[in-house]
């Protein structure tokens, strides 16, 4: 049996639930990194940089001595997600007014969710990117106010969670649902192949069953085809 140890560099319960579908032996060790975008940084560059930074920061916590990091066999998984409207990065809202502004901005329109992943083992790093078009339904102002009162938007990029059972902000999604939630599992599987690693079960099937979602892009991602 494979005894590879995995470390998920995130405290997100959504990422933890999704990563658990792989059947891997893993622990949680969140990384604390500055998430401020650089000047003129594209959304693609932003999420990949932060995913890598989280993986490296976690590795430094696991093995504080730099000269010994190449000896650490743990597989560290970093991930970062942001909502993008045009070329504008929408992070977590500062307050309720900011959440309200974001939800009104996104209402009735299609934006994108960028999720970068980074897999780090020893001194080898593999990064990947999932981009999903997200069409938002034309929810009402009253719905926005009720949703804000739940407190759910306050720790979410773009001020919403696609999986919220009452608000249900998204219309008909065609891309990676798990990627919008913060951890595109097929991209994780694709990256792990470069380390000679695989899951212990049918992860795409388990993901679709958990999310009650018929994913149309999973085969293409697993086959290494570009999906946007």
Give the residue numbers marked as catalytic: 80
Q: Closest Cα to residue 58, out of 72, 45, 47?
A: 72
**Are 215 and 203 spatial neighbours (Cβ–Cβ below 8 Å)?**
no
Distances (CA, A) of 55 to 16, 79, 182, 199: 15, 8, 15, 20
> Which pairs from 35-43 meet CB under 8 Å and 24+ separation?
35/80, 35/91, 37/89, 42/87, 43/82, 43/84, 43/87, 43/89, 43/112, 43/114
**Are 117 and 127 spatial neighbours (Cβ–Cβ below 8 Å)?**
yes
Q: Which residues pair with 124 in a beta bridge?
A: 121
Say how far apart CA 200 and CA 23 lie, in whole Å: 5
3: helix, coil or strand? coil
Q: What are the tokens at 84? A: 């993008």
């Amino acid at each position: 049996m494979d005894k590879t140890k995995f470390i998920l560099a995130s405290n997100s319960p959504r990422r933890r639930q999704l990563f658990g579908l792989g059947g891997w032996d893993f622990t949680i060790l969140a990384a604390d990194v500055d998430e401020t975008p650089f000047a003129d940084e594209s959304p693609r560059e932003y999420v990949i940089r932060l995913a890598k930074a989280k993986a490296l920061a976690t590795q430094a916590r696991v093995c504080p001595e730099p000269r010994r990091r190449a000896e650490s066999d743990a597989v560290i998984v970093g991930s970062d997600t942001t909502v993008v409207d045009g070329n504008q990065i929408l992070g977590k809202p500062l307050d309720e007014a900011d959440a309200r502004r974001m939800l009104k901005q996104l209402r009735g329109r299609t934006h994108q969710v960028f999720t970068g992943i980074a897999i780090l083992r020893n001194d080898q790093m593999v990064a990947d990117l999932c981009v999903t078009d997200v069409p938002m339904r034309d929810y009402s102002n009253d719905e926005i106010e009720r949703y804000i009162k739940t407190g759910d938007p306050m720790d979410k990029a773009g001020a919403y969670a696609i999986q919220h059972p009452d608000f249900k902000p998204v219309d008909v999604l065609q891309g990676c649902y798990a990627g919008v939630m913060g951890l595109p599992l097929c991209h994780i599987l694709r990256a792990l192949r470069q380390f000679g690693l695989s899951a212990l079960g049918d992860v795409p099937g388990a993901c679709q069953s958990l999310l009650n979602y018929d994913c149309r892009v999973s085969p293409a991602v697993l086959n290494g085809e570009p999906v946007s």
